[in-house]
Structure 1
Amino acid sequence: MTSYRMPAEWTPHERTWMAWPSPNPTFTDEAELAGAREAWASVARAVRRFEPVTVVVAPGDAEGARALLGDDVELIERELDDAWMRDIGPTFVTDGTSLAAVDWVFNGWGAQDWARWEHDSKIARHVADAAGVTVHSSPLVNEGGGIHVDGEGTVLLTDTVQLGSGRNPEWTREEVEQEVHARLGTTKAIWLPHGLAGDYGMYGTQGHVDIVAAFARPGTVLVHSQQDPNHPDYERSRTYASLLRAQTDAQGRPLEVIEVPAPTVLKDEEGDWVDYSYINHYLCNGAVVLCSFDDPHDALAAEIFRSLFPDREVVLVDARTIFAAGGGIHCITQQQPAV
């Protein structure tokens, strides 16, 4: 296992995997489901401009998916519960010559009351089989949105995810780190105490790191920065930035922290705090697919990402419908690295 490692997201991809929204508790009626499918399709089409995309669809949904996705997106039919491929799909790792797929235990983001996972818990293996790669099964309850790596030995984790009572209540921090390092080829874990406030409500993941912080390159980490003192993430984001600035990575480099201002909107139509975040972007071949929110800070975030990735096109896709269901663009995509 130790010869395998998870490459950084900015390395070349073979393809992107996604899952098609199906009727489930996340989408409360036909209108919400239809809106979700439009949103998922907009992300798939944006990514498809730069690399192949394969979408897992539930039996019977292929015709409707094809109409929205177009003819150049590959479809495979498997039973599904939900549509968050980052979390239900495998984490691909490589030994330099071949790929393998880590199959974490998936239990509905900590066995939440509303979640269903009978089918989703098998999707990682289905994707690995379709990709023709070996499966490495892990006993750790974990999701792809709960980890972020720099490709050089460092991994970001969150106390309320890997150590949360609904996921791994019997595991110690040291045991979690040992298992994560064994599967991802990492050597140093940096722990954040929690996620964004909105991620603990209905349909929240209870603290996924990929909405809080993400490596942009080795030694450089992006962090969500809420600018309004009235929002509960104002203090949280300052905690994250301070904690990360005090850290070194696995290679001993002090981390450069780049704060990305949150969108200006603070609450949704129901009056709940939003966790809108530009950190939840997706890097594909030649592009940054960036969440947009019809917000004044969209342009500011785009400029930050253009400066960080001058050789990539920054493509903004409206992510408000995806966030309303509990995640963002990174949450619905999963990269298969090129070998």
Structure 2
Amino acid sequence: MNAVADKTPVVTPAEWAPQKAIWTAWPADPDEWRGDLETPRRDVAALIRALSIAGNKVRLLANGEEARNSALAALGNAAEIIPAKYGDIWLRDTGPIFAQIRNSAVALRFKTNSWGGKYDLPDDATVGDDVAELAKTPIRRFDFVLEGGAVDHDGEGTILTTRQTLLNPNRNGWTKEAAEQALAEAFGAKTVIWIDEGLKNDHTDGHVDNIARFVAPGRVVCQAPAGPDDPNAETLNAIAARLETATDAMGRKLEVIRIPGVGLYRNALGDVSPASHMNFIIANDVVVVPIYGTATEADALQALQAVFPTRAVVGVSSRGLLGCGLAGGGSFHCITQQEPL
């Protein structure tokens, strides 16, 4: 699609706004998943079925014939399967961010540097253009590095983000002031609420979509420590304390809702992993929440159901997506990108 060159202000809808489609991708490269594609594929298939049952249109990218055939066998007509090339499935970061200019759709495209130079995969730099083309949406390009999971929007000009990601020397080398100027240009941000850091061992350098999320204008959800052995207890308490002092672009003091966190979660290699219930995806009529077989998950789902009374809150296992070692590292929000109506 043709690029949008003018500087007309951008409006970035909140995730809870009505959606035309949800884009995601099928695990296709065994080298990226320690030779085991079936385990993450089960999680992706369960996510797609939960979205489809609620009436959402899911557009699933499949890289190669084997990926296409396995996705079709697993999902049938639960998703529209589209041939495409991509490095891995983290479309929140490599895909476009859909927004609006003059009430018309636009695909915002940013540079990628492989999460600070850590995971350089072929086609990750181009899949965002391909998604925009498939969505028949013109592109507006920005000459800086940004991953979609690094920012969370309230639809009214407020953005949540972390210093650990946006001010990291391995991205743009920004100062706080330079970052805020870039977010204003890209998203029409009027207020940026800064959190210091994310979860331990997060491959993304502390993406905000794993620690704090807007759920309505003036309302934000974050986690509470799950117990005395929670490796992120200090960080989770600091996140809540920061949010409780924040005001949004409309001058409202944030209402901060804490739900039970996952707590200590070790992967198959025995390492502490950044498992989080915050990596949920808000879709039409449903919220799909990653769960990990931990003691607090039922309470977390119950708390989120109270936050989203008009949507079904569905817990789906994400242990395969979280993975271990260099494989995985994320969950449902990380692999999806919503396309607003």
Shared fold (TM-score, shorter chain, > 0.5): yes
Picking from 58, 67, 72, the partner of 1:53 is 58
Give me the whole-angstrom Cα distance separating, in 1, the residues matched to 2:81 and 2:116: 29
Superposed displacement of residue 72, structure 1: 3.7
Change (3 A) 1:15 1:233: same
Give me the whole-angstrom Cα distance separating, in 2, the residues matched to 1:165 and 1:24: 31
Q: Residue 337 in 1 paired to residue 340 in 2?
A: yes
| 1:72-126, Cα deviation, whole Å (9 max, x unpaired) | 41122121111111111110101353100111111211111xx123301111111
SS of corresponding position for 1:35? helix
Partner of 2:313: 314
Superposed displacement of residue 192, structure 1: 1.1
Contact kept? 2:151, 2:159, Cα under 8 Å: yes
Superposed displacement of residue 263, structure 1: 2.1
Picking from 149, 155, 161, the partner of 1:151 is 155
Picking from 69, 72, 82, the partner of 2:88 is 82
Pairing 1:57-76 to 2, within 5 Å after superposition: 57-60=62-65, 61-76=67-82
Partner of 1:10: 16
Superposed displacement of residue 268, structure 1: 2.8
Partner of 1:225: 224
Aligned-residue identity in percent? 34
Partner of 1:288: 287
Unaligned runs of 5+ in 2: 1-6
Kindly tell me the number of residue pairs found equivalent between the two proteins. Answer: 329
Give me the whole-angstrom Cα distance separating, in 2, the residues matched to 1:95 and 1:165: 31
Q: Residue 62 of structure 2 aligns to which amino acid in structure 1?
A: V
Structure-2-length-normalised TM-score: 0.92
Superposed displacement of residue 172, structure 1: 2.1
Superposed displacement of residue 229, structure 1: 3.4
Q: Residue 235 in 1 paired to residue 234 in 2?
A: yes
Contact kept? 1:24, 1:82, Cα under 8 Å: no
Give me the whole-angstrom Cα distance separating, in 1, the residues matched to 2:242 and 2:31: 36
Superposed displacement of residue 297, structure 1: 1.5
Moved over 4 A (4+): none
SS of corresponding position for 1:47? helix
Q: Residue 281 of structure 1 aligns to which amino acid in structure 2?
A: F
Give me the whole-angstrom Cα distance separating, in 2, the residues matched to 1:266 and 1:27: 19
Give me the whole-angstrom Cα distance separating, in 1, the residues matched to 2:81 and 2:120: 23
Q: Residue 208 in 1 paired to residue 207 in 2?
A: yes
Q: Residue 6 of structure 1 aligns to which amino acid in structure 2?
A: T
Partner of 1:278: 277
Unaligned runs of 5+ in 1: none
Partner of 1:175: 178
SS of corresponding position for 1:5? coil
Contact kept? 1:5, 1:183, Cα under 8 Å: no
Structure-1-length-normalised TM-score: 0.93
